[in-house]
Structure 1
Amino acid sequence: MTTRDKNAPETGPEGALAALRRRLDGARAVRRLNQTQLARIAGLGRTTVNQALNPNASPPTKDTVSALALALRLDPSPLLDLLATATGNGDRDGQDCVVGRPIGDWDPLDLEVHPAAHAPSTTAGDAPCLAGALPGYVRRPHDQALARLVADATAGRSRMAVLVGSSSTGKTRACWEAVQPLARTGWRLWHPFDPTRAEAVLTDLKHVGPRTVVWLNEAQHYLGAGGGLGERVAAALATLLADPVRGPVLVLGTLWPAYADTYTAMARPGQEDAHPQVRALLGDRRISVPDRFDPAAIGAAQALADAGDRQLAGALERAADGCLTQDLAGGPELVHRYRTAPPPARAILQVAMDARRLGTGLHLPLAFLETAAEDYLTDTEYDALDDNWLEQALADLGRTVHGNLAPLRRIRPRRTPGAPASPPAQPGPGYRLADYLEQHGRTERRMQCPPASFWHAAWEHLDDHEDLGRLAEAALHRYRLQWAFLLHQRSACYRDLGTACVSEFVVAQLTGAAAQAVATWAADEGETWAMLQLARESWRGNNLQTAEAYARRAADAGDPDGLYYLGLIREDAGDRQGAKELICQAADHGHEQALLLLADAFLAEGNTANEMTAVREAAEQGSLLGLGRFLKLLREGGDEEQVQQLGWQVAVACGLPGMLLYAGMRREAGDMDAYDGLVHRTAGQPDPATLAQIAEQIQHRGDKTAAEGLALRAAAAGEAQAWGTLVELRLAAGDVAGAEKFARKAAAAGDTLPLLLVAEAHEEAGNHAEAEAFAQEADTAGDAYALLSLADFRMNAGDPAGAEDLALQAGSHGNTEALLFAAKLREEADDINEAEKYARQAADAGAFSDPSFSDVRHGTWIPDQVAAHWPYGLDADGTPSTAWHLQS
């Protein structure tokens, strides 16, 4: 056997190829790179690198050698000379007889697949989407047509298809997905584009070898090239497709419909036929791509979104018309346009973003946008505005990007069906912000409070009561009390805060004359809550005449509370008969407290029948106290049939809490199957959510065994929140290991709160390391409150600095409660300036948006000394308001 001398001259194809590989592999070893690392640096596939260095493989391509030389910091010229010798072609520049490179070596973005819209993290623990990451792919009918062509190509038959569809409908992505089966069998892909696309095809099409995809994205650049080049390209492609020696090949292209129509239109008599070759080539090779996803495709996209694809989830939320691909393709360019927009256009977009995130409708009046934009500009930017700045900004924002999307579009209201009762009003022009920019603004500007010009513009130019009411709420959430009141006044007291309205909350923040003035205005405007508040305050001040006047006004306005308070006031005035009549009137209107007062009176008289009637009516109004008394009276009556039939009937009127109260009473009476009976009586075959809700209520009522059984059934049926009930039950039983197991199951099902429950239990037991570990698990799983829990643990461990750092970290993720936590820490450290800064940041982000706490006063959330600095709320710029005079 002859052994080759490593020092022999690098002559002949075999010696040149061996020398080439020796030089490349030696340089790799010197740089201490393995093949995977080298592939990543060179931008090649690992298989490509392995084959280039493998002595038993075919020679690498010129592109591969050049990429490896660049990655290894070698001069490519001598390496390419060796490759030319190895392949028997002394002309290195023309040696590469096969164009393209393996499909797996291509990045889809380099083939002009549009980068998809970024999916913002919904919680602090979400992993960010990588730049350029593509969403999951949804196959549609045109994909099936492509798949048939790919199957033909795999079987050895040359094929061509041009996907025809509007901008950003998914044509290029469909081609990319279609060729993936070919990548697994070693096919190459050639993307001709240098020096021009048409010239590249005409120059190198002769080098296309078998099993090659010819990539003609935006095929108008090839088939529509001027000077006759397009016709020559079409003819050359037709020749390639008909040549059995060079096949199989697959030619894929994309076109907009307008181009396809132009190229395939027959010339009129006497008119020059500009595209006969292109028309013949396209023929029946066109595949239509629809603008919108059909219901089946929407369902498939939703399944991917449900499985965790946040990009598709965002597109489904935004693109209600089914134009998902347009949204995904156009989103990044919309954000680029926003970030690079001239100051006036950017200001208009920020106004629109703020308006939408604070609750206005889709259509924004032009006058509002123009007026609001003022404070979004610096003094220099504002002074530099041209006289026609608004027209220029709107024209700029109306230009479309991929997918026919524009940052801001003028909307055209549709006619209302039916004959109008009167001539319609002529509203000014309205504009709609792109959905993707709306979502982007909710993330980017979530910690921002709009400036004063925004609130003034809303006051002056918005007329929709719902829009004004929601902006009033938004102002209240940001502690801008004056604007909350003024906008609520303009909204005709639009209500959307449950049992209270904006003005009632504003009054709760104020004291003295300001509070009195707001309440008086609201009462004069017909707000019964204000009448009753003034009645209560006057009553407490022993001003019975004024109290009675306000209570009477509330009663006359139809509020039974007015009758009830009138009765109490008359009682204090010594008019017992008048008081009883008023209480009876309130009871006739179903007033719960009045009915219970009457029941007390009947009990005192020994009138059990009337007492039962009163408490039953109270229960039927939803009073659990009334229901409890009614069931007790039924049971004392000893009629079991009445208890089971009438008791259940009345309990149903109180909803699930009432039914649970009934079941608990039955359980106490010895009916051990009462809760199982409740489950079937409420829902027949109950859904998992109902089971979990019943289990939670039973747990709070103390029946741990029944609660755990139902919770296990709910969890097994897929209800994530049932695991939380099981965690609480295991912790209550001292079974921490069991609680940990259930908490992790809950987190896997999407509910991270049980992890924090376990963390809290460990903290209370002094197991600080375990507590932090479980809180960190919750943070990793995406729990927005995990960092705040960790901060609390650090505080308990005597580390206030660490606690503050964690709270501020949570605050940077949008957790306003954490910012208030940090503010209280600063107040305790006597650093009022920092405390006020953090509290202001929380207010700017809408910290006071939860009216569900027992005390209506939002200020109880603010550190005491900070609240003292803000007696009248904050101005738009975040400075404390002075005593403002209320407008009527």
Structure 2
Amino acid sequence: MRRTAAHEDGDTPRAWPGPGRPIAEWDPHALEVHPAGPVSGPRMLPGYVRRAHDQVLAQAVEEARQGQSRMVVLIGSSSTGKTRSCWESVQPLAEAGWRLWHPFDPTRASAALDDLHRVGPRTVVWLNEAQHYLGDNQLGEQIAAAVHTLLTQSERGPVLVLGTLWPEYERQYQSVPAPGSPDPHSRVRELLAASRTVTVPAGFDAEALRAAAALARRGDRLLADALTRASAHGQVTQDLAGAPQLLYSYEHGSPAARAMLEAAMDARRLGIGLHLPQTFLTDAALDYLTEAEYDHLADDWAEAAYAELARPVHGRQAPLRRASPRPIRRPPGTLPPASPGPAAGPVFRLADYLEQHGRVTRMKLCPPLSFWAAAHAHLTDPDSLATLAEAATRRSRLQWAHHLWHRACEAGSVNALTYLVEFQETAGNHHGAEDLAHQAAASANTRALSRLAELRRAAGDNEGADLLDRKAADAGDGYALARLAGVLELAGERQAAEAAAYRAATAGNPDGLMKMADLRRAEGKSEDAERLYQQTADAGVVEALFSLAELRERTGDYTGANAFVLQAAKLGDSAAVAHLVAKREHLGRHTHAEALAKQALHSHTSDGLLELARIRELGSYHKSAERLYRQAASAGDANALAHWAWLRERRSRHGEEAEDLVQQAAAAGNPHVLYHLAELRQHRDNDHTGAEDLYRQALTTGDTRALRPLANILEHDGDHANAEALAERAAGYEYFFALIYLASVREKAGHADLAEKLYLRMADSGVVAASFDERWPYGLDPDGSPTSPWH
């Protein structure tokens, strides 16, 4: 209380004994702001141009100054100015005496987890390249939970958490797994709510370029120099950071240097750690060379290539520089963790810009044989080996995946044991599989035991599966506990079943609670079911809120039912509103259906109105449907606007008026309406020509969803080359189903050779199709040829 009062009176607060030091004492380059300018010159920053994302940062900073804890994560590609934006944003806090803490030593993740609980008020927590914190295989979820606690404990505030992420990492963390699959980023996904992330554009727009030019005219030589190259494309920050020269070094380097860079690019995009052993890179590079290039290698080719790549380019960056991992420091008498030490010999780090360039340009390529052999021979980090084994599996390089899983296990990866358990079990070595599963459980990894139970149950050995499930449950495995809860419930041991379900939920798997609630509800035990659904919802299962709404709906408590589905919508399940609206409408409760839809609209959820409009349109209540579509469209729903325009076109021959309505909406910043209208043209009108035109217009506005249906239309018309090009573009935006669907269409149409080539390209890209196991039972060799039987 005294500290808060002192802040309000404007006095300088007593120093907090937490981590960090005053912002004014920090050098921005120590916080990983990219240096700019000539290598030999003084370290300096160019003038700063504020853009739209800076306004979001400024608001968060001001709210932090006013006493509210805030978090902002900037999402953008490499060298787009994310870290510099964060640095500029905290300068007002520097003047107010705030501290800044950059967790880094001994590793970013361990430093963050160790000291987040010590962070005090008026501190900026600096999580630059947040994937090293939130994406850590072992600690990421715990760090996300600790940050959440820091932000929500008012007595520790105000604090400001700033982070940066590449878009592909954000997509990875925000991706919701399939039902029943592990969810490794649930807490990170919750932390990265939409209100906490802001996108940094890849380049300067016209306004930003004018501002940069004004600074250049006033004497900023760094900006003036960068604008001579970047004014056409707007990538000023990348130029300042040295990206063009890095790219030139790669594209125009010697064959050996280019081969090493490609091996390093593949290593990073397939999940190997930042620091790449020299022995690995040297051996891996060989098969990236052509036969002629290999024949002309000098005896000292490797030394010459490393020297070439170590030369800094504009922006003080080297394409591939020797790195010096920080030594791990511990208090006297503290035992080190039971893991292998760093790789023997020198290690190297690939420049960020080239790493991301490789992720884009090499995403469709599978590394050659020398890469996999070098990884198996020289990598020692268990996480890198396990991640690479997963990458090999996704690419159907099953034999190399198997060997890498073994190496990962030897290096100390407990997760690798799960793979080996499954391999031994399917090979018929049941005792060996069980021994390995118990070995994993002894190392606090119960997933291997749980997975073995799943395999035994699938093979019909229910008794053996139950025994393993009990062992895994005793060790705290959430999946086994959930299955055990179901077994106990069916056996009538309800008290024990609930206890197991609670333990499963505590271990991160509330499925048992949900299933138990469903069973109680089916038996007519509504009070028990409601209690269990509420506990399931409290454990984070949003679907349980809809079940609670249905229970209230049965008793006529429409207000209570509305409250539950609106709560679900606020947590991201807007479909819950649509489902309940549809249920009411079909039961004849039209007034209650429309009331809920309109109430949801006030909470910025238009799905209910859209669903209600669709139902009434199908029932030929066109006037009512049009009114509802119009209301949803007025709230910004692009799909509703498309339906409204289409319905007007069909009902009153206002074809041109409807088209104008759609084009005006697209021009006003709502491009998705073109996509939705194209869907209606394609599927309701069977107008493929009109649909194709609208899909192409949607694509020009940036709606990449149009790539998949466009590919399908072109394939149907026989334009295989362009269909494949569009499907691959769609896969680049993670619409992988476009490739899978296109390959299946070709196979059914009798184009086996075209389908085979596409399946192979999918495998090389890491896009998995269900048919791969049957197509290549032993996997593929690195060159793409089917592997001979090996197990």
Name the TM tier (shorter chain): 0.5 to 0.7
Please report how far the alpha carbon of residue 350 of structure 1 lies from its aligned counterpart in structure 2 after TM superposition: 0.8
The one-letter code matched in structure 2 to 1:584 is E
CA distance in 2, matches of 1:778, 1:377: 42
Please report how far the alpha carbon of residue 170 of structure 1 lies from its aligned counterpart in structure 2 after TM superposition: 4.3
Q: Deviations over 1:163-182 (max 9, x none)?
A: 8x6xxx345567x79xxxxx
Please report how far the alpha carbon of residue 455 of structure 1 lies from its aligned counterpart in structure 2 after TM superposition: 2.5
Aligned to 2:534: 616
CA distance in 2, matches of 1:787, 1:652: 30
Aligned to 2:370: 453
> Kindly tell me: are residues 462 and 675 of structure 1, through their superposed partners in 2, closer, same or farther at Cα, counting changes over 3 Å?
farther
Is residue 757 from structure 1 mapped to residue 676 from structure 2 by the alignment?
A: yes
Q: Which residues in structure 2 correspond to 1:541-580 (within 5 Å)?
A: 541-566=459-484, 576-577=491-492, 579-580=493-494
SS of the residue corresponding to residue 335 of structure 1 reads helix
Gaps of 5+ in 1: 1-128, 147-162, 178-300, 495-500, 683-690, 716-721, 849-857
Please report how far the alpha carbon of residue 372 of structure 1 lies from its aligned counterpart in structure 2 after TM superposition: 1.4
Aligned to 2:548: 630
Q: Which residues in structure 2 correspond to 1:385-396 (within 5 Å)?
A: 385-396=297-308
CA distance in 1, matches of 2:648, 2:451: 46
Q: Which residues in structure 2 correspond to 1:503-652 (within 5 Å)?
A: 513=427, 523-524=437-438, 525-526=440-441, 528-539=446-457, 541-566=459-484, 576-577=491-492, 579-589=493-503, 590=505, 594-595=512-513, 598-599=516-517, 607-623=525-541, 626-634=544-552
The answer to whether the 8 Å contact 1:726/1:739 transfers is no
SS of the residue corresponding to residue 212 of structure 2 reads coil
> Kindly tell me: are residues 420 and 725 of structure 1, through their superposed partners in 2, closer, same or farther at Cα, counting changes over 3 Å?
farther
Aligned to 2:725: 809
Aligned to 2:395: 478
Q: Deviations over 1:816-864 (max 9, x none)?
A: 655545543543354534422221122212323xxxxxxxxx425x6xx
SS of the residue corresponding to residue 859 of structure 1 reads coil
Alignment counterpart, residue 723 of structure 1, candidates 618, 638, 642: 638
Structure possessing the higher radius of gyration over alpha carbons: 1
Q: Which residues in structure 2 correspond to 1:295-310 (within 5 Å)?
A: none
> Kindly tell me: are residues 650 and 758 of structure 1, through their superposed partners in 2, closer, same or farther at Cα, counting changes over 3 Å?
closer
CA distance in 1, matches of 2:679, 2:758: 26
Q: Which residues in structure 2 correspond to 1:239-638 (within 5 Å)?
A: 311-312=234-235, 316=237, 324-327=239-242, 331=244, 333-414=245-326, 428-484=345-401, 486-487=403-404, 513=427, 523-524=437-438, 525-526=440-441, 528-539=446-457, 541-566=459-484, 576-577=491-492, 579-589=493-503, 590=505, 594-595=512-513, 598-599=516-517, 607-623=525-541, 626-634=544-552
Please report how far the alpha carbon of residue 461 of structure 1 lies from its aligned counterpart in structure 2 after TM superposition: 3.4
Aligned to 1:766: 686
Aligned to 2:777: 871
The one-letter code matched in structure 1 to 2:388 is L
The one-letter code matched in structure 1 to 2:371 is F
The answer to whether the 8 Å contact 2:594/2:612 transfers is no
Q: Which residues in structure 2 correspond to 1:848-867 (within 5 Å)?
A: 848=768, 858-860=769-771
Alignment counterpart, residue 789 of structure 1, candidates 709, 715, 729: 709
> Kindly tell me: are residues 808 and 556 of structure 1, through their superposed partners in 2, closer, same or farther at Cα, counting changes over 3 Å?
same
Is residue 139 from structure 1 mapped to residue 212 from structure 2 by the alignment?
A: yes
Please report how far the alpha carbon of residue 486 of structure 1 lies from its aligned counterpart in structure 2 after TM superposition: 5.0
CA distance in 2, matches of 1:479, 1:824: 18
Moved more, 563-572 or 354-363: 563-572
RMSD over aligned CA atoms reads: 5.0
CA distance in 1, matches of 2:250, 2:322: 17
Q: Which residues in structure 2 correspond to 1:189-200 (within 5 Å)?
A: none
CA distance in 2, matches of 1:636, 1:492: 54
CA distance in 2, matches of 1:644, 1:560: 32
The answer to whether the 8 Å contact 2:392/2:400 transfers is yes
Is residue 670 from structure 1 mapped to residue 592 from structure 2 by the alignment?
A: yes
Q: Which residues in structure 2 correspond to 1:163-174 (within 5 Å)?
A: 169-172=222-225
SS of the residue corresponding to residue 344 of structure 1 reads helix
> Kindly tell me: are residues 841 and 658 of structure 1, through their superposed partners in 2, closer, same or farther at Cα, counting changes over 3 Å?
closer
SS of the residue corresponding to residue 450 of structure 1 reads coil
The answer to whether the 8 Å contact 2:266/2:362 transfers is yes
Q: Which residues in structure 2 correspond to 1:124-163 (within 5 Å)?
A: 136=209, 138-139=211-212, 143-145=216-218
Please report how far the alpha carbon of residue 395 of structure 1 lies from its aligned counterpart in structure 2 after TM superposition: 0.7
Please report how far the alpha carbon of residue 409 of structure 1 lies from its aligned counterpart in structure 2 after TM superposition: 1.8
Please report how far the alpha carbon of residue 346 of structure 1 lies from its aligned counterpart in structure 2 after TM superposition: 1.5
Is residue 835 from structure 1 mapped to residue 750 from structure 2 by the alignment?
A: no
Equivalent residue pairs, number: 549
The answer to whether the 8 Å contact 2:397/2:782 transfers is yes
The answer to whether the 8 Å contact 1:476/1:484 transfers is yes
Aligned to 1:695: 606
Aligned to 1:104: none
CA distance in 2, matches of 1:830, 1:502: 40
> Kindly tell me: are residues 842 and 540 of structure 1, through their superposed partners in 2, closer, same or farther at Cα, counting changes over 3 Å?
closer
CA distance in 2, matches of 1:621, 1:461: 43
Please report how far the alpha carbon of residue 418 of structure 1 lies from its aligned counterpart in structure 2 after TM superposition: 8.1
> Kindly tell me: are residues 413 and 544 of structure 1, through their superposed partners in 2, closer, same or farther at Cα, counting changes over 3 Å?
closer
The one-letter code matched in structure 2 to 1:620 is D
Please report how far the alpha carbon of residue 649 of structure 1 lies from its aligned counterpart in structure 2 after TM superposition: 7.6
Aligned to 1:195: none
> Kindly tell me: are residues 844 and 138 of structure 1, through their superposed partners in 2, closer, same or farther at Cα, counting changes over 3 Å?
farther
> Kindly tell me: are residues 403 and 520 of structure 1, through their superposed partners in 2, closer, same or farther at Cα, counting changes over 3 Å?
same
Aligned to 2:170: none
CA distance in 1, matches of 2:425, 2:665: 46
CA distance in 2, matches of 1:620, 1:362: 39
> Kindly tell me: are residues 518 and 473 of structure 1, through their superposed partners in 2, closer, same or farther at Cα, counting changes over 3 Å?
farther
The answer to whether the 8 Å contact 1:708/1:729 transfers is yes
Please report how far the alpha carbon of residue 531 of structure 1 lies from its aligned counterpart in structure 2 after TM superposition: 3.8
Q: Which residues in structure 2 correspond to 1:84-233 (within 5 Å)?
A: 136=209, 138-139=211-212, 143-145=216-218, 169-172=222-225
SS of the residue corresponding to residue 448 of structure 1 reads coil
Please report how far the alpha carbon of residue 399 of structure 1 lies from its aligned counterpart in structure 2 after TM superposition: 2.2
CA distance in 2, matches of 1:512, 1:732: 56
CA distance in 2, matches of 1:412, 1:580: 58
Please report how far the alpha carbon of residue 546 of structure 1 lies from its aligned counterpart in structure 2 after TM superposition: 1.0
Q: Deviations over 1:727-746 (max 9, x none)?
A: 25554776576774565456
Please report how far the alpha carbon of residue 792 of structure 1 lies from its aligned counterpart in structure 2 after TM superposition: 2.3
Please report how far the alpha carbon of residue 393 of structure 1 lies from its aligned counterpart in structure 2 after TM superposition: 0.8
Please report how far the alpha carbon of residue 485 of structure 1 lies from its aligned counterpart in structure 2 after TM superposition: 5.2
> Kindly tell me: are residues 608 and 838 of structure 1, through their superposed partners in 2, closer, same or farther at Cα, counting changes over 3 Å?
closer
Aligned residues: percent identity?
33
The answer to whether the 8 Å contact 1:664/1:674 transfers is no
CA distance in 2, matches of 1:744, 1:347: 49
The one-letter code matched in structure 2 to 1:775 is Y
SS of the residue corresponding to residue 139 of structure 1 reads helix
Normalised by the size of structure 2, how large is the TM-score? 0.57
The one-letter code matched in structure 1 to 2:323 is I
Q: Deviations over 1:621-645 (max 9, x none)?
A: 4556644443344455567887788
The answer to whether the 8 Å contact 2:715/2:723 transfers is no
> Kindly tell me: are residues 488 and 725 of structure 1, through their superposed partners in 2, closer, same or farther at Cα, counting changes over 3 Å?
farther
CA distance in 2, matches of 1:488, 1:465: 9
